[in-house]
Amino acid sequence: MMERTILAHRASFEVSLRIIISGYYGYGNTGDEAILASLGQALGGVGRDLVVLSAAPERTRREHGLRAIGRYDLFRLIRELLGASLFVSGGGGLLQDVTGPFSISYYLGLMKLAQFLRVPTMLLGQGLGPVKRPLNRRLIASTVQKADLAAVRDPASAKFLASLGVPEEKIMLTADPVLGMKPASSKRVNEIAESLGLEEGRPIIAVAIRPWYTWYERQFKAFTSVLSQLACRFDAQLLLLPFHYPGDLRITQELLSCLELRPSAKIPRVAMLDYLISPGEMAGLIGTADLVIGMRLHSLIMAASRGVPAVGIAYDPKVLAFAEQFDFPVIESVQSLEEAETTAALIEDAWLRRGEIHRTLAAALPHWQEQALLNTRFALGLAEAQASRKKK
């Protein structure tokens, strides 16, 4: 019933709207910037004023063409909220207490401020958890229960919110917004591939890893050995992609060095992207690969959006959840990478089945793209309903 009401407003009303967007923006994380690019594409338009809370407002304005304010500029935020039609929290994995103790308090505090000022609020395309502290669970429950809508990207997040007492009619299962993002032009992608020295017509395995506390020398050596052996066996080029710039650069450079120093390796080509590109360019570059091996969630999401088979490395439950949704094979932890034979067998199986996986993705993708677009359809419906009420 709520879904039909929101979409009815969306279908029948067009008015000037201000939508505040809160997320992990301005930090150089390609996954989060891809979410913002997706929201800009889907929410932007004539009469729509999108305002992004960013750690680097000038860069966000330059790269996305959106208005941006400092994420800690409380007084400016209040001024923007006073004329806002909607406050959006998301997308991404904002509500978790693993990577930082204050993330949940920060993001929920912003939502509570918007609610205090009587601005409609929603979660958009979020994946929740892990949430270990009982206090954080209570904060999520009290805030999201007062939100107008909670659009989540996976069934586990929907189940988590329901377990906290959030009314089921407020919980909508959508998908990650990046599944609906438009990639860069093939001309631009080809220019990037050429600059990296990638050989046209030769298979590509793209690899996106990140720093994590369970990376030890034995896992790293085993993983390097597997990549080297399989690249040689498949006559494939390796393309190393840091998704957080510069956060992923060091570990990706270490992987490059280890691959280049292997005495028996005759890998056709090892290329590393060592400069920042746009989310659309990254999605397009991933689309040139024959297989993606990814720790970074959005390397897998971009692979799915481009119909490219992928293997996940599940350092976090969100990676496992997405891999299960798309039936991607998954290495269950960084620690398990030390089992080189098991890792190699799993990746080789995905490689041999890549045609089958591609066909499955191509058949499923229209459904998931529609689910991704539901995020912004719900957002616009809520914003337009609020604008309509203000006019009366």
CATH homologous superfamily, domain 186-365 = Glycogen Phosphorylase B; (3.40.50.2000)
Tell me the average pLDDT of the chain.
Answer: 94
Q: Quote the pTM value.
A: 0.94
Mind spelling out the 3-state secondary structure of 194-221?
Answer: HHCCCCCCCCEEEEECCCCCCCCHHHHH
With b for 16 or more beta-carbon neighbours within 10 A and e for fewer, the 109-141 pattern comes to: ebbbbbbeeebbbbbbbbbbbebeeeebbebbe
* Higher pLDDT among residues 43 and 268, named by residue: 43
Q: Long-range contacts made by residues 138-141, C-beta under 8 angstroms, separation at least 24?
A: 139/104, 139/105, 139/108, 140/95, 140/104, 140/108, 140/164, 141/165, 141/166
Predicted pLDDT at 3: 63
Give residue 8's pLDDT band: very low, low, confident or very high (50, 70, 90). Answer: low
Distance CA 199, CA 236 (A): 10
Q: In the predicted model, is pLDDT for residue 82 greater than 70?
A: yes
pLDDT tens for each residue of 156-182: 999 999 999 999 999 999 999 999 999
Q: How many degrees, rounded to 5, is the angle at CA 303 between CA 331 and CA 325?
A: 60
Domains 2-179+367-391 and 186-365 share a fold: yes
| Percentage of the chain modeled with pLDDT above 90 | 90
- In sequence order, the 6+-apart residues with CB closer than 8 A to the CB of 293 are 205, 206, 207, 208, 227, 310, 311, 313, 347
Q: Which CATH architecture has domain 2-179+367-391?
A: 3-Layer(aba) Sandwich (3.40)
Tokens of 386: 């609020």
Provide the 10 A C-beta neighbour count for residue 339.
Answer: 15
Q: What is the pLDDT of residue 256?
A: 95
Is residue 300 classed as helix, strand or coil in its secondary structure?
helix
- Given pLDDT bands bounded at 50, 70 and 90, which one contains residue 6? low
Q: Taking a C-beta distance cutoff of 8 angstroms, is the pair 183, 30 a contact? A: no
Asked whether residue 262 carries a pLDDT value surpassing 80, the answer given is: no
Average of per-residue pLDDT across 231-255: 96
For the cut 50, the answer to whether the pLDDT of residue 368 exceeds it is yes
Judge whether residue 15 has pLDDT over 60.
no
pLDDT at 182: 95
DSSP SS3 for 183: coil
* Helix axes of 317-325 and 155-163: crossing angle, nearest 10 degrees: 120
Neighbours of 251 (CB within 10 A): 18
Tokens of 363: 């058949």
User: Does position 218 have pLDDT exceeding 90, yes or no?
Assistant: yes
CA distance 99 to 122: 23
Section 85-99 average pLDDT: 95
Q: Residue 9 above 60 pLDDT?
A: no
Q: What percent of the chain has pLDDT over 70?
A: 95
Q: Which of the four pLDDT bands, split at 50, 70 and 90, describes residue 106? A: very high
In this predicted structure, the answer to whether residue 17 has a pLDDT above a threshold of 50 is yes
Domain boundaries, the chain: 2-179+367-391, 186-365
Mean pLDDT of 194-200: 96
pLDDT, position 46? 76
pLDDT score recorded for residue 13: 46
pLDDT exceeds cutoff 80 at 12:
no
